[in-house]
Amino acid sequence: MIGSNLDGQARWKSALMDNYGTPGIALVRGEGSYVWDADGNRYLDLVGGIATNVLGHAHPAVVAAVSAQIATIAHTSNLYVNPVAVELAEALLGVAGLDGSAKVVFSNSGAEANEAAFKLARLTGRPKVIATHGAFHGRTMGSLTLTGQPPKREPFQPLVPGVEHIPFGDVAALRAAVDADTAAVILEPVLGEGGVVPAPDGYLQAAREITSTAGALLILDEVQTGIGRLGSWFAFQQAGITPDIFTLAKGLGGGLPLGACVAVGVAADLFAPGHHGTTFGGNAVCAAAGLAVLRTIAADGILEHVSALGKDIAAGIEELDHPLIAGVRGNGLLLGVALTAPISGAVATAAAAKGFLVNNVQADTVRLAPPLILTEEQAGEFVAALPGILDTAAANTPVEV
């Protein structure tokens, strides 16, 4: 039999491994910044596939590009040139403002993009890679080793040797850790899964200076911050630095599985044929989606919109002056609403009941990472609803606020 006898919650939990503690909202359709569940309820999607659906759902440019590509040629083999991937790589290097010495290797996910970066670091011949506490870099064994969140790592010991974690945002700790054995330092410009914690002012610039002086590579994991999320194509542009390697995924494919590891200068030439690869990485259909994403962001002035809207939302939430709100972290459309009590799960549940999808990224932080095309009106509806959502969450949770 192909099908199921189960209904509702029981069915959604039956055949898939429960890796995400999914609350059982089955989303069946999306358009723009809205999604609909299997019962026909509409939600404003402030999670955006977790920072992924930069152009929202079913964007006409992505639909057209993907449809045309799949009807032309979907996939060949890495033995032959994939012109769509070439075009996307050129476009990426163009928006990154990088010259001819930079190169791209595509993947299917952020974890894989970080695996590529990790492998490039190994090819320097130096043994040590430095990452930070609180960082999230993926769940494959290499990217999990780089991840600085013990509950995610510990069940899978022994992990990959040669990785050291230091406190995030601490320049002195970074300076003390980097030495002649250091191949690379990998940083998230904003800790995403760690709770939307931006690097302190000057940290990325100091990391650039420290790694350059030591002859180590600086890798920025821009899987969450890249492709316009912060109101610039990449976070490193806001910091005014160029990393040796940066990794992308999430927004890059506009909802299709696509990641990239971009390397600059000497790092761009470390891989030789046979060192690395993956069957589907940069697949023509996904690459066509990526091109549509980049072209639409550029043509529609989306970066400017993201900067302005992010400021409006943050200011609007701060102005609510609600006792459960401690403040707002982040910039652009990657915002963390810090709570004065660890009830983000109840907030996400109350929000969904009122038609808003938000993410309880940490117990005391609600993450907003909506489509970059979210309108002022839609954002305003959420901000206006937030006090009621918080009151409901507090009423449903036995905590003092």
Kindly list the residues in this chain that would bind ligand PMP in the complex (CB under 6 A). Answer: 109-111, 114, 136-138, 188, 192-193, 221, 223-224, 249
Euclidean distance between CA atoms 148 and 157, whole angstroms: 13
- Rounded to a whole number of angstroms, the minimum distance from the CB of residue 137 to ligand PMP is 5
CB nearer ligand PMP, residue 56 or residue 253: 253
One-letter identity of residue 251: G
Nearer to ligand PMP, 59 or 137 (CB): 137
Closest CB to ligand PMP: residue number: 110
The distance of closest approach from Cβ of residue 188 to ligand PMP in the complex, given in angstroms and rounded to an integer, is 5
Asked whether residue 136 is marked as a ligand-binding residue, the answer is yes
Angle at 228 between CA 224 and CA 229, to 5 degrees: 45
d(CA 271, CA 201): 33
| Residue 221 assigned as binding residue | yes
Q: Is 47 annotated as a binding-site member?
A: no
Query: What's the closest the beta carbon of residue 132 comes to ligand PMP, in angstroms?
Result: 12
Is 139 annotated as ligand-binding? yes
110 is in an annotated binding site: yes
For ligand PMP, the closer of residues 168 and 390 by Cβ is: 168
Report how far apart, in Å, the C-alpha atoms of 221 and of each of 93, 123, 327 are.
Answer: 16, 19, 25
Please report how close the Cβ of residue 306 comes to ligand PMP at its closest, in angstroms. 18
Question: Is there a binding annotation on residue 72?
Answer: no
Question: Closest separation between CB of residue 114 and ligand PMP, Å?
Answer: 6
Token pair for 99:
């010259």
Contact criterion met (CB below 8 Å) for 124 and 183: yes
Q: How many CB atoms lie within 10 A of CB 329?
A: 19
Binding residue per annotation — 111?
A: yes
CA distances from 267 to 94, 103, 166, 242 (A): 18, 9, 23, 13
Tokens of 363: 């117990």
Residue 101 has which token pair? 């010495």
CA dist., res. 315 & res. 328, Å (int)? 8
Question: Judged by CB, which is closer to ligand PMP: 56, or 226?
Answer: 226
Whose Cβ is closer to ligand PMP: residue 116's or residue 393's? 116
Q: Which residues are annotated as a binding site?
A: 110-111, 136, 139, 221-224, 278-279
Query: What residues are designated binding site for N(2)-acetyl-L-ornithine?
Result: 139, 278
